Homo-oligomer: A and B are copies of this chain.
Amino acid sequence: MTRQNSVDPDILDKCRQYRGYIEAKLGFRNYWYPTLFSSELVEGEFKTHHLLGDRLLLARVDGKVHAVRDRCLHRGVPFSRKIECYKKGTVTCWYHGFTYRLETGELCDIIANPKSNMIGRLRIDTFPVIEAKGLIFVFAGDIEPPALADDVPPWFLDDNVYVRGRRTEVDANWRVGCENGFDSTHIYIHKDSVLLEGNDLLLPLGSVPTSKEAFEVVDEPTGPVGVYDKLFEHCEPVFEGKVDGETVLHGHMGATQVAYNISLWLPCVLRVTPWPGPTMTQFEWYVPIDEDRHFYIQTIGKTVESEQDKADFDREFDEKWNELALKGFNNDDIWAREAQQDYYRHDEAWLGEHLYEADRNITSWRSLASRRNRGIQTREHTLTIGRQI
C-alpha cells in the first residue's frame, strides 16, 4: 500500500539531473507551506487540512495556531472524526481518551487508563506554525525550521505589503502547477481572458528568446532559493500569431506593461510582478495535497501606507481582482494543469515531453530543485504516529 510514489529506476537514470524533482511526487520536506488563511480558523476552532500526503489537525488557542498530525498514536484514528477537547490547549481522542498537548504533542493523559506508563513518554508529531500576511504557514519536516523568509519570495514579508487571496483544490500534481505558472509562453492560453477587457494590458501571444541564458538562478547558502525568468529582457514579443506565414491571431496591445518580473521559489511558490495591475504583485503557491492534487493558494500583495489604503484595496480586491484575475484569468491555468496531469501522472512523461527554447527557465528550476531541496516527502513519513519523548 505504501510504495505508490516510487519511480521506475530506468526513468530516474535517464533523467539524472532532475532526479529529486521527479521523485518528489508528494513534494519536498523541510519547508514552510501555507495552509489555511488565518481568517479560516477562529479562536477555539479545530480544522483538518491536507499537506504533502499527510493529514494535519489545526487549532487556534489563545490566538496561537497549533498543528499536529491528525492521527492518534494508539490505533491511528483521526481525531477529526469526532473532536473532543476538555481543556484548552489539548485534544482528546474519541476512541480511548488519549489526550495530547497541542503545543508539544505530548501524551499528557489517557482517560480510559489514567495510570498508563505511556503517559508523558510519547508524543505525536507537531508541526511548527507561523502566521504571516494572513496565511497560516506550517513547517513539514524533521529539521530545525529555517526562517520563514527563506521559504517565500523576496518582498512578500515586507512590512508595508498587504495581502489578500483565495484557495482552490486543483486535480494536478504540484509540479504541473509550478511549471504552468512559471512557463513564460503559456500566456498563449490567456489570449481571450476576461481580464484583458477594460484593463489596458500589454499581453503578447508568446516570445522569441534572443539568448539562451534568459533566466537567473538564486542559489545562495541562505535566503530564498529560486529562479528568475529573464525572458522578458531577452526576447522579441510575439503579437502576430502566424500559421504558414499568414497572420491568424493578434496579441493584446495595451499600454500597461505587466508581468515582466516572474520568479519561482522553493518549495513551490511563484511571484509575478507587477500583476494583475501595475501596483500589485501576485504570489501563488501550488501546495501538494497528494500525488494527484494541489491546493492553489493565490494571493495579491500591495504596498499600503495606511488603514485607509488597506480598506481601499480590500474593496478593490473583492469587487475586481478576485473575480477578474484570481478567478477569471487563472481559471484557464487550472484547466490547463488538469489537462496536463493526464500525461504527467505517467512517469514516462519526463522522458517523452519535448521542451522548447522558452522552457529553459523550467529546466533550470528542475535542476535547482533537485540539487537544493531539503528532502523528499514519502508516504512512509505520513504513517509515523508516535515518538519517544
Contact = CB atoms under 8 A, between A and B. Distances in A.
Interface of A: 1-2, 8, 71, 73-78, 81, 86-87, 90, 92, 94-97, 99, 108-118, 122, 183, 185-189, 205-209, 238, 241-244, 246, 248-249, 335-336, 339-340, 342-349, 352-358, 380, 383-386
Contact of A188 (B97, B122, B385): B97
B76 A340 contact: yes
A354 B117 CA distance: 12
B96 A185 contact: yes
A206 B113 contact: yes
Contacts of A108: 243-244
Given A86-B243, A95-B188, A348-B380, A354 B115 contact: no
A243 B383 contact: no
Contacts of A2: 8, 346-348
Contacts of A185: 96, 112-113
Contacts of A342: 76-78
B71 A111 contact: no
Most buried by B among A96, A122, A242, A347: A96
B356 A116 contact: yes
A349 B384 CA distance: 9
A97 B206 CA distance: 9
| Copies of this protein, total | 3
A383 B76 contact: no
Nearest to A108: B244
Contact of A114 (B78, B186, B242): B242
Contact of A355 (B74, B205, B206): B74
Contacts of A383: 343, 346, 348-349, 352
A75 B188 CA distance: 14
Contacts of A186: 95-96
A356 B93 CA distance: 14
Contacts of A355: 74
Contacts of A78: 339, 342
Contacts of A347: 1-2
A113 B207 contact: yes
A343 to B, nearest CB: 3
B113 A356 contact: yes
A43 to B, nearest CB: 20
A182 to B, nearest CB: 13
Contacts of A73: 353-354
A185 B116 CA distance: 12
Contact of A357 (B117, B183, B249, B353): B117
Contacts of A349: 76, 383
Contacts of A384: 352
Given A113-B207, A113-B208, A118-B354, 15 more contacts: A1-B345, A2-B8, A71-B343, A74-B353, A81-B339, A86-B241, A87-B243, A87-B246, A90-B244, A94-B189, A95-B336, A109-B243, A111-B248, A118-B356, A352-B384
A231 to B, nearest CB: 10
17 contacts: A2-B348, A71-B343, A75-B343, A76-B343, A76-B352, A77-B336, A77-B340, A94-B189, A95-B340, A112-B205, A112-B207, A113-B208, A113-B209, A118-B356, A343-B385, A352-B385, A353-B385
